[in-house]
């Protein structure tokens, strides 16, 4: 039976690829809806971009909701320096014609968790955790109904990408992250430690382009765009595909390895706010609350991605 998920997202080129991978895999993943959150770019753009991606995947019927437009307690920090002015710079994709749903994204999350059998819906956050935390705060009864949360965020060995200590998604809304990490829901975390190993090298991007379909071409162009930033910053072999690690984990968990450990979120320190304090070495007595992924089979990951994008 397909895993039933809600994708919570701030597209973002890598979010776009994560959504495409999910929509290309209907036998294994049923997307119940997509909720947009403010993050890489403001909410109006993430809600637009999510719909552009659904149309690119040939799924104009998908329900897309706008959620929270700012973090719980801080001003929004965005990342146009990585993703471009629109958040989806690179390919020339048409404005979406499919509608944005009327309901608020947080209400959709709450109502879906209440309506579906307990323990059957997985949440897949690809951006700041504002929508999820708001749903948990507003409707504590839904927390125990979540099957699991599989999210992209945080870092331990790679430390930070938006500050020296913090990864972007967690840094933007650390109070939301602290609430979600402390909620007691089974949690799988795909941090920079693993996503920085999912590098789109030139041969891998050529393989996307060679698919010859719209999705393959668009993914290649998105990667060309944000690779410029990563090459300048890290001097690496290619851009890391952060968010698609979440979808790939749902499809092929055997491609990934990690440890079930305690992970706490720093919310106070001005130097390390948004840091994921991961007890990788087991040096505390704090109870494990997350499966924290550290490595992946990158060739297997890119084979899967290329094979699925070919279906779109
Ligand atoms: Ca994202």
pLDDT digits (tens, 9 = 90+) for 5-20: 999 999 999 999 999 9
From ligand 1's centre to the CA of 2, what distance in Å?
23
Does residue 234 register a pLDDT over 90? Answer: no
The pLDDT > 70 percentage for the chain reads 99
In the predicted model, what is the mean pLDDT of the chain?
96
CA–CA separation, 194 vs 189, rounded Å? 10
Residue range 143-165, pLDDT digits in tens: 999 999 999 999 999 999 999 99
From ligand 1's centre to the CA of 9, what distance in Å?
6
From ligand 1's centre to the CA of 126, what distance in Å?
4
From ligand 1's centre to the CA of 202, what distance in Å?
22
Q: Which two tokens stand for residue 17?
A: 């690829």
Q: How confident is the model at residue 232 (pLDDT cuts 50, 70, 90)?
A: confident
From ligand 1's centre to the CA of 113, what distance in Å?
22
| Residue 270 or residue 238, greater confidence | 270
Residue range 253-269, pLDDT digits in tens: 999 999 999 999 999 99
Does residue 175 register a pLDDT over 80? Answer: yes
Kindly give the pairing relationship between strand 187-190 and strand 64-66: unpaired
What pTM did the predictor assign? Answer: 0.97
From ligand 1's centre to the CA of 114, what distance in Å?
26
Cα–Cα separations (whole angstroms), residue 67 to 14, 207, 224:
19, 35, 29
Computed on alpha carbons and rounded to an integer, the radius of gyration of the chain in Å comes to: 18
Q: What is the pLDDT of residue 189?
A: 98
From ligand 1's centre to the CA of 174, what distance in Å?
15
Which residues are part of the catalytic machinery? Answer: 242
Q: What is the pLDDT of residue 237?
A: 78
Lowest mean pLDDT among 40-44, 83-87, 132-136, 191-195: 83-87
| Residue 228 or residue 100, greater confidence | 100
From ligand 1's centre to the CA of 283, what distance in Å?
31
């Amino acid at each position: 039976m397909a895993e039933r998920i809600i994708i919570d997202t701030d597209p973002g080129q890598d979010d776009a690829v994560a959504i495409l991978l999910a929509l290309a895999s209907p036998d294994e993943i049923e997307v119940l809806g997509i909720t947009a959150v403010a993050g890489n770019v403001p909410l109006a753009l993430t809600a637009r971009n999510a719909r552009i991606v659904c149309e690119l995947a040939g799924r104009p019927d998908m329900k897309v909701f706008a959620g929270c437009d700012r973090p719980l307690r801080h001003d929004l920090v965005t990342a146009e320096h990585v993703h471009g002015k629109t958040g989806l710079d690179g390919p020339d994709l048409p404005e979406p014609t499919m509608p944005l749903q009327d309901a608020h994204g947080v209400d959709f999350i709450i109502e879906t968790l209440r309506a579906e059998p307990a323990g059957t819906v997985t949440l897949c956050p690809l951006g700041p955790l504002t929508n999820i935390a708001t749903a948990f705060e507003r409707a504590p009864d839904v927390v125990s109904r979540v099957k699991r949360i599989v999210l992209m965020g945080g870092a331990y060995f790679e430390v930070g990408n938006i500050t020296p200590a913090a990864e972007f998604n967690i840094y933007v809304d650390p109070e939301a992250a602290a609430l979600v990490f402390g909620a007691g829901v089974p949690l799988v975390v795909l941090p920079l430690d693993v996503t920085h190993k999912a590098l789109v090298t030139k041969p891998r991007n050529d393989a996307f382009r060679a698919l010859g379909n719209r999705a393959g071409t668009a993914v290649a162009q998105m990667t060309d765009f944000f690779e410029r930033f990563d090459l300048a910053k890290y001097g690496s072999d290619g851009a890391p595909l952060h968010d698609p690690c979440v979808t790939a984990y749902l499809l092929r968990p055997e491609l990934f390895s990690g440890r079930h450990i305690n992970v706490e979120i720093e919310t106070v320190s001005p130097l390390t706010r948004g840091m994921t304090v991961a007890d990788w070495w087991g040096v505390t007595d704090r109870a494990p609350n997350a499966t924290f992924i550290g490595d992946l089979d990158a060739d297997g990951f890119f084979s899967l991605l290329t094979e699925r994008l070919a279906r779109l």
